Amino acid sequence: MPVHHQLLATTPRYAVALAAIENETFARRNARTAAREEVVTIPIVVHVVYATPEQNISQEQIDSQLKVLNEDFRRTNPDVGKVPEVWKNVVADARLEFKLADTDPHGKPTSGVVRKETSIEVFEPDHTVKFADRGGADAWPADRYLNVWVCELKSALGFATFPGGPAEIDGLVILHSAFGTTGTVKAPYDGGRTATHEIGHWFNLRHIWGDDGDGCSGSDFVEDTPNQAGHNSGIPDFPKLSCNNGPNGDMFMNYMDYVEDASMYMFTKGQTERMDAALAGPRASFLSPQVRESMRLGTSV
């Protein structure tokens, strides 16, 4: 959120774009359009920016992260059965899948992985890693690829851009030791859920507590997530109560909270509606023309 707030403060057109996107999102929700049935596949380019051999993560580690994403966004993750009974009926399949890009911006075959050696030992949680002339790697076209930068990151597991920002910084940055499930990963963030969380932001999901500190007045703009006071961490016990939300309490096992990887294992139907709104609007370039038109009309192909 500090990165988001900095962008709001320095880029007036970003604030305007966000407001327009939210207006479209609420209009779509109020219209109760039909749920998207088609599975949309998002091409990913992973920019591995490294100063040491350890930071130059293996292909196996990258593949392990893709596996987690495809399970989490399709509700096939092995731990989805841990969702408390009261919320099992709102657990959602986002119908989103991810693959490493097989064609680069020039139409040439690619592995979907860019490796860039750098002299920068640790990147600040800002946009430096996204520019080659600052020691990072330049983004691929943001309307065709989800850019993911993996590096040594200071004081953060990762961060992402919401829709509506400048194309040259669009995407997510992940600490290499919180990316995937093998290689350099370190417990308790060794389940690949940092990327799941950050891609949620990329699809315009907010933190489940509404980013109002520990108050009860914030909102994630989703109807089926309970109001909660602040973020959760560690491995909470169910129920975890706050904001007079008993008897069931916080939905801390949601991917958009801050708990450890082993404690998060669900998106809700309301959250997938917001993701669909992002796909119908600012992320529509990732849809085929047929699916784009069906989502615009609120029908299915």
Give the active site residues.
Answer: 198
Torsion of CA 243, 250, 181, 121, to 10 degrees: 0
Start-to-end CA distance of the chain, whole Å, equals 37
Opening angle at CA 233, ends 231 and 237, nearest 5: 105
- Strands, DSSP E only, in the chain? 40-50, 96-100, 113-117, 146-151, 158-160, 172-175
Closest alpha carbon to 173 in 153, 201, 187, 144: 153
- What distance in Å separates the CA atoms of residue 110 and residue 105, rounded to the nearest whole number? 9
Question: What SS3 state is found at 159?
Answer: strand
Opening angle at CA 166, ends 57 and 280, nearest 5: 95
Q: Which residue, chain included where needed, has tokens 């998207």?
A: 36
Quote the tokens at residue 99. Answer: 């693959």
Instruction: Taking each helix axis as running N to C, give the angle between helix 193-202 and helix 59-72, from 0 to 180 degrees, rounded to the nearest 10.
Output: 60
What Å distances lie between residue 175 and 2, 61, 158, 271, CA to CA?
17, 13, 6, 25
DSSP H or E segment with residue 279 = helix 269-280
- What distance in Å separates the CA atoms of residue 93 and residue 204, rounded to the nearest whole number? 17
